[in-house]
Amino acid sequence: MLEIKNLKRYFGGVKAVDDCSFKIEKGKITALIGPNGSGKTTVFNLISGILKEDSGKTLFDGIEITHMTVEETSNLGISRLFQQPRLFGNLSVRENLIMAIDEDNTRFWKNLIGYKLDREKGDKINEIAKLTSITAFMDKQAKNLSFGQKRLAEIARALVKPHKFLMLDEPVAGVTPPLRKEISELLLKLKKQGETILLIEHDMNFTLNVSDKVVVLDSGKVIAQGSPKQIKTNPKVLEAYLGD
């Protein structure tokens, strides 16, 4: 579904992403792991078009998306959860989801009061709210949610956006162990429904438990890739995580 070929992006002397290549298979959960600053978020930003690569290629469903803008990759069906929270605090959770599902946002802003959403989209929002366990606080202002509730609402937002491919940047960073478990179950459920997911995560247990394939970055380079089982015992990975 997605193929990254020799992707490179430097920031001055920092080799954030350095000749990085890997593939993502449809219907699977692929995890991108690596120490702090190893280039994970930069890879996401290159795929989605937030950043431009110095060189290399990205193919999505066989289409070259290397030089596309965020809007173009989004229209092709790439949806993402950001590492930093991005909900509109003064809007309710439901309104945040409406903003994501309705491509024509201007229509929403102009008619905030009395805004009518298509029945089909309303049903989709309710279905995803249920799936992500946020039904109880759909009408709360986003700024009044707990950290964990915000994270769930943001996952829901990434899901309601029409998409073929989902990128999640640290969905469980800072969340409590019970919610961590709930989100891991959610990811497995999503996979069963046919979602293709690229996941960035620091929590090794979480990652190895949910993913089909793991790609390990260190200083912008892919130092290993394989099944969770292969990664767990790979000496290069152990050194990157535990070394010096």
Ligand X SMILES: Nc1ncnc2c1ncn2[C@@H]1O[C@H](COP(=O)(O)OP(=O)(O)OP(=O)(O)O)[C@@H](O)[C@H]1O
3-state secondary structure of 197: strand
3-state secondary structure of 211: coil
207 binds Mg ion (CB under 5 A): no
The position carrying tokens 């290399």 is 56
Size of the chain in residues: 244
Instruction: Find the shortest distance in angstroms from Cβ 50 to ligand X.
Output: 9
The one among 13, 36, 114, 120 contacting ligand X by CB under 6 A: 36
**Residue 115 binds which one of ligand X, Mg ion, none, with CB within 5 to 8 A depending on kind?**
none
Give the integer Cα–Cα distance in Å for 224 and 206.
18
Instruction: Find the shortest distance in angstroms from Cβ 169 to Mg ion.
Output: 6
Give the number of other Cβ atoms within 10 Å of residue 195's Cβ: 19
The alpha carbon of 85 is separated from its chain's Cα centroid by a whole number of angstroms, namely 12
37 binds ligand X (CB under 6 A): yes
- 53 or 170, CB closer to Mg ion? 170
- 17 or 231, CB closer to Mg ion? 17
**Residue 219 binds which one of Mg ion, ligand X, none, with CB within 5 to 8 A depending on kind?**
none
Residue at shortest CB range from Mg ion? 41
Q: What is the DSSP letter of 135?
A: G
The one among 9, 16, 39, 41 contacting Mg ion by CB under 5 A: 41
40 binds ligand X (CB under 6 A): yes
The one among 16, 128, 155, 222 contacting ligand X by CB under 6 A: 16
Specify whether the CB–CB gap between 191 and 168 falls below 8 A.
Answer: no
In Å, what is the CA distance from 46 to each residue of 29, 108, 123, 217?
A: 19, 29, 33, 15
Give the integer Cα–Cα distance in Å for 87 and 78.
18
Give the x/- contact pattern for ligand X in 120-159, rule: CB under 6 A: ----------------------------------------
- Smallest Cα–Cα separation from 239: which of 229, 226, 220, 224? 224
39 binds ligand X (CB under 6 A): yes
42 binds ligand X (CB under 6 A): yes
As given in the structure block, the two tokens for residue 87 are 């909900």
The one among 30, 38, 96, 132 contacting ligand X by CB under 6 A: 38
Of 79-98, binders to Mg ion (CB under 5 A) are 83
Positions in the binding site for ligand X (CB under 6 A): 11, 14, 16, 34, 36-42, 83
